[in-house]
């Protein structure tokens, strides 16, 4: 981890002020309950081919919702490990898991570990399936992370990556004199490292040796800013200021013009925003078991 202010806020949660941590947790909680994310996660789960007794890795697990869901699939004989670089996120994930496990006693074993996805503390080939959701977009060393995820997956095991293509983000109903500078700002001054990550997942996995690749793009569309905020965090002033660079004196004026334009478009029922999330999965390299 680093204190570099240019690092994405989700890559340095523990270094963020408490109020920002609270906003990040609230955003993740809102997203987790939204139908678009539940659908993406259902598709991802299907591509992983998880079976009872499997050992599974949830890389960049955050608050651990999917770590728990996978524990239901592996059953009492399986194990799911959630790894994240944020101690505060994992502390909350562990607390929530303890309460969840009380009503799901037949789920597999779950553990949460602080770790660096570029240097996983696991030997090669120990997981039957690995996943990483909406994490690579924030990490400057995405290729190293993918290589590590593939390394710890057993031969012919499954690797599943989920991420957003923020460069697919489109709006309607907003004036060009407001939309154009904001889109430029979001693409050039955002705290995100890899805004095009979603659509590049296939080739990144292919270059890492993963085969039998399947791609599942899901475009989501919103006509209400309050609903869009569950996925697109560009309609709440403090969060948006943090994203576009609140240290710049011009940012506040730009954000205020943006929010005024969004409110005006909503009042006219002209507001629309859409973007695409990607699920890409495949088979880790290595020889398949020989039938006898």
d(CA 160, CA 225): 30
Q: Is residue 49 in a domain?
A: yes
Q: Is residue 42 in a domain?
A: yes
pLDDT value, residue 292 = 44
Nearest to 166 by CA among 191, 142, 145, 140: 191
pLDDT value, residue 76 = 93
Angle subtended by helix axes 18-33 and 87-102, to nearest 10: 40
**Secondary structure string (H, E, C) spanning the chain:** CCCCCCCCHHHCHHHCCHHHHHHHHHHHHHHHHCHHHHHHHHHHHHHHCCCCCCEEEEECCCCCHHHHHHHHHHCCCCEEEEEECCHHHHHHHHHHHHHHHHCCCCCCEEEEEECCCCCCCCCCCCEEEEEEECCHHHCCCHHHHHHHHHHCEEEEEEEEEEEEEEEEEEEECCCHHHHHHHHHHHHHHCCCCCCCHHHHHHHHHHHCCCEEEEEEEEEEEECCHHHHCCCCCCCCHHHHHHHHCCCCHHHHHHHHHHHHHHHHHHHCCCCEEEEEEEEEEEECCCCCCCCC
**pLDDT digits over 44-55, tens only?**
999 999 999 999
Tokens linked to 254: 């730009």
Q: Is residue 35 in a domain?
A: yes
pTM for this structure?
0.90
Q: Is residue 150 in a domain?
A: yes
Q: Is residue 25 in a domain?
A: yes
**Secondary structure string (H, E, C) spanning 82-95:** EEECCHHHHHHHHH
Q: Is residue 265 in a domain?
A: yes
Q: Is residue 194 in a domain?
A: yes
Token pair 């997203």 in the structure block, residue: 31
Query: Which residue segment(s) compose the domain that 151 sits in?
Result: 9-283
d(CA 8, CA 193): 7
Q: What is the CATH number of the domain that holds 69?
A: 3.40.50.150
Tens-digit pLDDT profile for the chain (292 aa)?
A: 333 333 345 566 767 778 778 888 888 888 888 999 999 999 999 999 999 999 999 999 999 999 999 999 999 999 999 999 999 999 999 999 999 999 999 999 999 999 999 999 999 999 999 999 999 998 989 999 999 999 999 999 999 999 999 999 999 999 999 999 999 888 876 667 788 999 999 999 999 999 999 999 999 999 999 999 989 989 988 888 877 876 566 888 999 999 999 999 999 999 999 999 999 999 999 865 544 4
Other CB atoms within 10 A of residue 282 CB: 23
d(CA 90, CA 86): 6
- Count: domains in the chain: 1
Q: Is residue 3 in a domain?
A: no
In angstroms, what CA-CA distances link 83 with 59, 63, 67, 116, 215? 5, 10, 10, 8, 24
CB 160 within 8 A of CB 47: yes
pLDDT value, residue 214 = 98
């Amino acid at each position: 981890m680093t204190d570099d202010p240019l690092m994405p806020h989700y890559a340095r949660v523990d270094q963020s002020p408490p109020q920002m941590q609270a906003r990040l947790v609230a955003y993740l909680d809102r997203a987790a309950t939204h139908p678009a994310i539940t659908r993406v996660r259902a598709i991802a789960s299907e591509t992983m081919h998880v079976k009872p007794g499997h050992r599974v890795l949830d890389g960049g697990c955050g608050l651990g919702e999917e770590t728990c869901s996978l524990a239901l699939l592996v059953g009492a004989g399986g194990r799911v490990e959630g790894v994240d670089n944020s101690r505060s996120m994992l502390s909350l994930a562990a607390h929530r898991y303890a309460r969840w496990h009380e009503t799901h006693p037949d789920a597999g074993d779950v553990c949460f570990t602080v770790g660096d996805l570029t240097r996983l503390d696991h030997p090669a080939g120990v997981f039957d399936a690995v996943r990483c959701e909406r994490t690579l977009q924030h990490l400057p060393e995405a290729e190293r992370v993918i290589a590590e995820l593939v390394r710890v997956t057993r031969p012919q095991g499954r690797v599943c990556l989920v991420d957003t293509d923020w460069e697919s983000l489109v709006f309607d109903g907003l004036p060009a004199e407001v939309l154009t500078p904001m889109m430029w700002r979001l693409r050039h001054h955002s705290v995100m490292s890899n805004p095009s990550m979603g659509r590049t997942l296939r080739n990144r996995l292919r270059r890492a040796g993963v085969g039998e690749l399947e791609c599942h793009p899901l475009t989501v569309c919103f006509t209400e800013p309050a609903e869009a905020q569950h996925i697109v965090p560009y309609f709440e002033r403090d969060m948006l200021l943090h994203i576009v660079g609140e240290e710049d004196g011009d940012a506040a004026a730009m954000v205020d013009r943006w929010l005024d334009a969004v409110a005006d478009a909503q009042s006219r029922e002209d507001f629309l925003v859409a973007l695409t999330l990607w699920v890409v999965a495949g088979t880790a390299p290595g020889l398949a078991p020989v039938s006898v």
